[in-house]
Each structure stands twice: as structure tokens, then as C-alpha cells.
Amino acid sequence: FTYTAIVPAAGVGSRMAADRPKQYLTLAGSTVLEQTLMRLLEHPAIGQIIVATAEQDPWFSQLLLARHPRILRVNGGRERADSVLNALQEVETGQVLVHDAARPCLRRADLDAVMTAGLHPQGAILASRVRDTMKRGNGQGAIATSVSRDELWHALTPQCFATASLQQALTEALAAGATITDEASAMEWAGFHPQLVEGRSDNIKITRPEDLALAGFFLQQS
Ligand code: CTP
Ligand code: MG
């Protein structure tokens, strides 16, 4: 196998405000996390999948996929970057991709595209173009200026990098106290310019309650 996939799944889902973290909510006959894992398990170039969950997580071990031979669970950390860094210690392949547990609508063509582009030394991320007119606020609830959307993208996942580069970038960026909200931001901090691979905008991150029904709808589309 050329690739290992890391699935950060140690968040609490505060914006979802459900009775459990959003990755364990029911979706299309299983759970959000299992739907996400199935998208990755289906890919022939992905060997191991490392899922980072909270240390005291009582839900993961109850999933059918918890005992899958290609799935390994590790402890997550306080921030998403800590969860990814923990999982990176178990990666044995030269290439790694990181994909949010909360993005179950990933399509195979997008996965293929970002995996191929990620072989570039700078790495690659899936991204989608901003559609709306963008405004910068003035901090008092009014518009300061309009911002051209020509160069603006939504950062999605998977994000794909050389394992050693990502590990070094994340380690050093965290030690320096940099604000790291995705893997690309650690790579940027280290001076890399990851490729933007235009992907589908239905690769949503389930974040708020209304997103769950939307994901169910997207999964029904062929
Ligand atoms: N995540 C993680 N470890 C953390 C925080 C987040 O592995 N310490 C994971 C989440 O489980 C999710 C992904 O990172 O799959 C994206 O994070 P987000 O959508 O922000 O999820 P939550 O942090 O759970 O949600 P919220 O911010 O609303 O609490
Ligand atoms: Mg979060």
C-alpha cells in the first residue's frame, strides 16, 4: 500500500449539540464515522486507517468496523492537530492522507485526485471555490470592505502529504504555538505551498444539526 489514512475523530461536536459526538450519530443505516471509514476502506491504495478518538470514548468499540483488520484506534489529543500528530506516530507508509471523521460524503474521484496530487513534494488538499460575495466585517456588525472571491477557497479534506514532511511541520508548528486548524496550515507555516485540488462542494463537514439530513441526501445521490 502507498497510503495510510488518518481519521481524526476525537472531537466533542459542540456545535452539533447532540447527545454524543457527531461522528457517532446515525447516518444511512450506520454512523457518520463508519460511512466515512467505508469511503476510505474502498480505495485499493489505502492500507491502514488510523482513527484518533478520545481516550475515554465509550462509542468506538461498539462499532462493527472497530474490529476491522485494517483499522487501528489511537488516542486523540486536545486539539485536532494533537490528534493527527498522535496518529502519525503509527504511520508506516511514505504518504499519508488526513480526512475528517465528519466528512462522510467523499467521492472516489475526489479521493483519487487528491491522492495523486499529494505525491507532489508540497502536498495537496481538496478545496472548493467560494460561491458567495465575501465581505470583511468592521468588528461592529457592519461591512468594512468587499473581498474578491477569485482567490478564496474552502479547505476540505482529505489533505495528502509526505508523512515525514507533515510530521515535522506539525511538530514544529505546535511547538512554536502557531494556530493550526488543518494539516495544510502546518505545512504553510513550514514554508510549503500545498496544491489546491478542486473537489465537490457536497463533501461537507457535518458541523450543525441541519448538516446531518443534508449528508443523508448527498449519500443517496449516485
Ligand atoms: N477532532 C479531533 N480531535 C480534536 C478535535 C477535533 O480528532 N481534539 C476531529 C473531529 O472529531 C472532526 C474533525 O477533527 O472529525 C474536524 O473537527 P470539527 O468539525 O471541529 O469537530 P468537533 O471539534 O467535534 O466539533 P466542534 O468544533 O463543533 O466541537
Ligand atoms: Mg472543533
Give the mean model confidence (pLDDT) for residues 33-62: 98
Specify the residue for cell string 439530513. Answer: 213
- Asked whether 106 and 129 are in contact (CB, 8 A), the reply is no
- In 3D, which of 134, 119, 67, 127 has the Cα closest to residue 103? 127
What's the CA gap between 208 and 17, in Å, rounded?
8
- Taking only the tens place, the pLDDT of each residue in 2-14 is 999 999 999 999 9
What's the CA gap between 201 and 126, in Å, rounded?
10
Give the structural domain span for 15: 3-220
ipTM comes to: 0.99
Confidence of residue 123 (pLDDT cuts 50, 70, 90): very high
Please say if the pLDDT value at position 1 is more than 90: no
Ligand 1 pocket test: which of 16, 80, 83, 125 has the largest number of ligand atoms within 8 Å of its C-beta?
80
Q: Residue 48 to residues 76, 182, 206: CA-CA distances in angstroms?
A: 17, 21, 24
**Amino acid at residue number 168:** Q
17 CB less than 6 Å from ligand 1? no
Name the domain count of the chain: 1
10 CB less than 6 Å from ligand 1? yes
Q: Residue 150 to residues 105, 128, 133: CA-CA distances in angstroms?
A: 26, 12, 10
From the CA of 16, the nearest ligand is: 1
pLDDT score at 156: 98
The widest CA-to-CA distance across the chain, in whole angstroms, is 54
Please say if the pLDDT value at position 61 is more than 90: yes
Q: What angle do CA 104, 106, 109 make, to 5 degrees?
A: 160
Domain of 136, CATH number, reads: 3.90.550.10
